[in-house]
Amino acid sequence: MKTKLHSCYLAVGLVVSMSSHAAELEITLTNLTHGVYFTPLIIAAHNQDAHLYQLGEPASLALQAMAEGGDIAPLQAELQAQNSNIVMNPAVGLLAPSKSTSAMLMTDSTNQYLSLTAMLLPTNDGFVGLSAWPIPTTAGTYHIYLDGYDAGTEANNELVVAGSGASGMLGIPASPGMEPGSNGTGVTSSESNKTVHVHRGNVGDNDPQGGASDLHNTVHRWLNPVAKLTVVVK
**Residues 104-127 pLDDT 10s:** 999 999 999 999 999 999 999 999
Residue 180: is the preceding peptide bond cis (ω within 30°)? no
Supply the pLDDT for residue 179.
Answer: 96
pLDDT tops 50 at residue 8: no
Q: Is 50 exceeded by the pLDDT of residue 9?
A: no
Q: Could you read off the pLDDT of 40-75 as tens digits, one per residue? A: 999 999 999 999 999 999 999 999 999 999 999 999
C-alpha to C-alpha distance for 220 and 181, rounded to whole angstroms: 12
Gap between the Cα atoms of 187 and 169, Å rounded: 16
Question: Which residue in 22, 214, 219, 52 sits closest to 133, CA to CA?
Answer: 52
User: What is the per-residue pLDDT across 182-204, written as a single tens digit (0 to 9) for each?
Assistant: 999 999 999 999 999 999 999 99
pLDDT at 70: 98
Q: What is the pLDDT of residue 19?
A: 44
pLDDT in tens, 115-172: 999 999 999 999 999 999 999 999 999 999 999 999 999 999 999 999 999 999 999 9
Q: What is the DSSP string of 101-112?
A: EEEEEE--SS--
User: What pLDDT score does 168 carry?
Assistant: 94
Residue 14, pLDDT > 90, answer no
pTM of the model: 0.90
Residue ranges of domains in the chain: 22-233
Confidence band for 7, pLDDT divided at 50, 70 and 90: very low
What superfamily would CATH give domain 22-233? F-spondin domain (2.60.40.2130)
What b/e readout covers 40-76, taking b as 16+ CB neighbours within 10 angstroms?
A: bbbbbbbbeebbbbeeeeebbebbbbbbbbbbbebbb
Contacts of 198 (CB under 8 A, 6+ apart): 55, 147, 148, 149, 150, 224
Q: What is the mean pLDDT of residues 216-230?
A: 97
What b/e readout covers 142-159, taking b as 16+ CB neighbours within 10 angstroms? eeeebbbbbbbbbbbbbb
